[in-house]
Structure 1
Amino acid sequence: MPKKITAVGYSAAMARAEAEPARARFWVGLDVGLRNTAVCVVDADGAVVHQMSMKSDATEIGRYLRKNFKSHVSMIGMETGSLSPHLAAQLRRQGFPVAVLDALQVHRVLSIKRNKTDTNDARGIAEITRSGREYLTEVYVKSSLSFEIRAYLIMRDRLVKQRRETEAMIRGLVRVYGGRIEGGTESPATYRSRAIDQMCLIADRENIDLRPRVLPLLDLCQSFYDEAQRIERELDLLAAANPVCRRFMEIPGVGTITALSFFSAIEDPHRFRHVEDVAAYLGLTPRVYQSGDSLTHGSVSKMGNQMTRTHLVSAATVMLSNTKSFSTLKDWGLRLSKRVGFNKAKVALARKLAIVMLSLWRDGTHFMAKAANVEAHRELMRRQAAV
């Protein structure tokens, strides 16, 4: 437990707080590390009241603030990071206001310091929390349900990537000895059969038996596939139980993975002022550089969540190339692809898809294949909600 503070600066600050309780306000900056967190407290004038380092534990930090600063803490600031969601949720549960700031933007502000130390970083975060929050992006901290869904999606994504990388490694090993494993299959059993056939041919031709070395890797690929399938079945159950995700999956090309990915990345559809803002949030809008008379529109920013952006682009690709049902959205994407090319069109369609999905979520409506039917359907849903 932290000891009672006896520093002169702290005593003077608390004396002023006792004399003028209405003006007694303190801002706290936390530079969170895996084991320890640097804490800096500043007053309304930006003067440092106290600095120290303690365990990265919300209970310890909350006890320190309650014991020494009572109810005078105006805001606690911290950067985004792996521990930030947990610490922010626990501190808010204890009644403290917490602002989680974008780490990239905070880094750019703190980089003006000549010496980078945890103490200096905590001081800078406290000062940003006191006077600079209007200029930096405050990050929305999602609920535990969203993090649980994201964890499932990340595990599935890693398993699929590891299986594909292992299969590519086996394909490269066999190719050294003149073998060739044909691609074009998602089934590990089919891939295993083709790999064994090629290894048998190599054993006959070169008198080299690769099976003792490669068969354990094929077993590993099968394990990756089975575990990914298990996670996908659990995700199917989660999506089926979620009415928002069920509406998302009415859109051609949008499946369980894309629906849950978008749902968990946004969580609260009303935190965007305009529905178009979701495209910029997911990094699907072009970068803009303007200086004097020059104005350049570059490629998409690729900011925000990479996995959800990839899922939306995949859904747009499926809509353009694999779906047979007509929709105004698909027709717009096909016309655009003839003008700018398929790759640019699928990204543009992913951007429009994100806007459509957020609109469905906010309005409580269903996907309409024809754009002409949207307003009538929206009005019908409004009347039903008013009854």
Structure 2
Amino acid sequence: MSKKIVVPSYLAAMDRAEADPSAARFWVGLDVGYKNTAVCVLDCDGAIVHQVSMKSSATEIGRYLRKNFKSHVTLIGIESGGLTPHLTTKLRAQGVQVVVLDARQVHRVLSVKRNKTDTNDARGIAEITRTGREYLTEVYVKSNLCFEIRAYLTMRDRLVKQRRETEAMIRGLVRVYGGRIEGGTETAASYRSRAIDQMCLIADTEGVDLRPRVLPLLDLCEGFYVEANRIERELELLAASNPVCRRFMEIPGVGTITAVSFYSAIEDPTRFRHVDDVAAYLGLTPRVYQSGESLTHGGISKMGNQLTRTHLVGAATVMLSNTRSFSTLKDWGLKLSKRIGFNKAKVALARKLAIIMFSLWRDGTHFMAKAADVPAHRALMQSRLPA
């Protein structure tokens, strides 16, 4: 904004701010788009001071606020989204306070308006920031390192899924001609060998040569496998150099992927007041609906990071079915599976894992196989802390 603002509402607000310093407080709402961002500024009474649309650039937004509102901006509100971490980090570096609100909750609040426009959304976000922030969830913005780790985990997950989907497609193509590619392949090379054997058999018996069409797909599967392994090796090096992740991997069933995924999903354990809040944050606690005399406990909420929740459930499955070492945690999960079934038990064990991993991180302790050893070990670790 290079032009000077001459809107009457802005001039009147600045005159009040100069006359009464206590009134020099403004709240800003940003409705961020891929190219442009709608900006709305409110005064302490909720009246619109100025509205404008500008490029989605932290530099442009910061310059606009510094030039026109000096240091009178109390808080900037922005909803979570793809560009939110970058804009929030850059704006905070310029010395302004920014709060990130849950986009789903903001959408529910703004849906009461009849017309949905970027200008109305920015006005609504500014009003939520001014008066209703206590009722909405504030989103924690992670560091660049955590975003880099999450990017690696997402890429690996996508590569593994694409490889499995491509292999399933090839299996279906071969089955049309009576071929059968047995499952249980650990590597792309072993799957390729089995697929080529079946295509050669089909060429001999049916007179149909599928190799010119399927071999490029097999090359693609091998590429997926190689790239996913490369990412896993980098994550293993990262986990080996991180003392917190090394303590996580002391738990039977928790591997590199689960440890790194949980670490990057939480990042700062001090932002949770209670250990049970971690399970709720990851969507591993049941939904509760209460109205009058009715009280219903449903399935898990599945809120939060889906990928980390999947990793925790996978670790719980490995602990229940593949690990041989004894632990009180595993014994609890096995008894629970006999009572409520394996699928529900593994989700409950995943919730326990999230709480235990968070406790290890917060207290600086190590995993104890027997629950009876935990109090003594925790007291020992706390006694070693500097006074």
TM range (shorter): over 0.9
2:138 partner amino acid: E
SS of 1:112 mapped into structure 2: coil
Which position in structure 1 is the counterpart of 2:336? 336
Mapped pair 1:319 → 2:319 = yes
Residue identity matched to 1:233: R
Letter in 1 for 2:84: S
Match of 1:281 in 2: 281
Partner residue of 1:192? 192
**Equivalent residue number for residue 302 of structure 1:** 302
> What residue in structure 1 maps to residue 225 of structure 2?
225
> Aligned partner of 2:9: which letter?
G
The farther-off stretch of 211-220 and 16-25 is 16-25
The match for 1:211 is: 211
Name the aligned partner's letter for residue 318 of structure 1.
V
Structure 2 match to 1:176? 176
Name the counterpart of 2:20.
20
* SS of alignment partner, residue 386 of structure 1: coil
Give the match for residue 128 of structure 2: 128
- Corresponding letter in the other structure for 2:79: E
Which shifted more, 217-226 or 183-192? Answer: 183-192
Residues 170-216 of structure 1 deviation map (CA, whole Å, 9 limit, x = unaligned): 00111111111111112111100110111111111111100000000
Does structure 1 residue 245 correspond to structure 2 residue 230? Answer: no
Tell me the alpha carbon deviations over residues 146-190 of structure 1, each in whole angstroms, 9 at most, x when there is no partner: 001101101111100000010011001111111111111121111
What is the match of residue 349 of structure 1? 349
Whole-angstrom distance in 2 between the partners of 1:198 and 1:232: 31
Per the normalisation by structure 2, the TM-score is 0.99
Aligned to 1:49: 49
Residues 2-33 of structure 1, C-alpha deviations (whole Å, 9 max, x = no match): 32211000000000001111331000000000
Q: State the match for 1:380 in structure 2.
A: 380
| Alpha-carbon separation, structure 1, partners of 2:153 and 2:369 | 28
Q: Aligned residue for 2:65?
A: 65
1:115-164 residue CA offsets vs partner (Å, 9 max, x unmatched):
00000000000000000000000000000010011011011111000000
- Secondary structure of the residue aligned to 1:378 is helix
In the alignment, the residues of structure 2 paired with residue 284 and residue 168 of structure 1 have an alpha-carbon distance, to the nearest angstrom, of 30
> RMSD across aligned C-alpha pairs, in angstroms?
0.7
2:4 is the counterpart of 1:36: no
Q: Which residue identity lines up with residue 266 of structure 2 in the other structure?
A: I
Match of 1:109 in 2: 109
Partner of 2:366: 366
SS at match of 2:335: helix
Q: Distance in 2 between matches of 1:12 and 1:54?
A: 23
Q: C-alpha distance in 2, partners of 1:123/1:24?
A: 19
- What number of residue pairs does the alignment pair up? 387
SS across alignment from 1:137: coil
* Secondary structure of the structure 2 residue equivalent to 1:132: helix
Q: 1 CA distance for matches of 2:353 and 2:343?
A: 15
Distance 2:5 2:308 in 1: 47
- What do residues 334-363 of structure 1 show as CA deviations (whole Å, max 9, x unaligned)? 000000000000000000000000000000
Name 2:151's counterpart in structure 1.
Answer: 151
Q: Does 1:235 align with 2:231?
A: no
Structure 1: how far apart are the matches of 2:2 and 2:151? 35
Q: Which runs of 4+ in 1 moved over 6 A?
A: none
Q: Which runs of 5+ in 1 are unaligned?
A: none
Q: Residues of 2 paired with 1:46 and 1:22: CA distance?
A: 15
Matched AA of 1:137: T
Note the C-alpha offset of 1:386.
Answer: 3.0
Residue range with higher mean Cα deviation, 182-191 or 259-268: 182-191
Q: What CA distance in whole angstroms lies between the structure 1 residues aligned with 2:386 and 2:331?
A: 34
- CA-CA distance at 1:259 after TM superposition: 0.3
The alignment partner of 1:134 has SS state of: helix
- Confirm whether residue 86 of structure 1 aligns to residue 86 of structure 2: yes
Specify the code of the residue in structure 1 equivalent to 2:313.
V
1:275-311 superposed Cα distances (whole Å, 9 cap, x missing partner): 0110000000001111111111000000000000000
Distance in 2 (CA, whole Å) between partners of 1:2 and 1:110 is: 31
User: Equivalent residue of 2:385, what SS?
Assistant: helix
Distance in 2, Cα, partners of 1:105 & 1:89: 22
State whether structure 2 residue 293 is matched by structure 1 residue 260.
no
SS in 2 for 1:326: coil
Give the Å deviation of 1:254.
Answer: 0.4
Which 5+ residue runs of structure 2 have no aligned equivalent? none
Give the Cα separation in 1 of the matches to 2:280 and 2:2: 43
Secondary structure of 1:38's match?
A: strand
Give the Å deviation of 1:102.
Answer: 0.2
| Counterpart secondary structure, 1:133 | helix
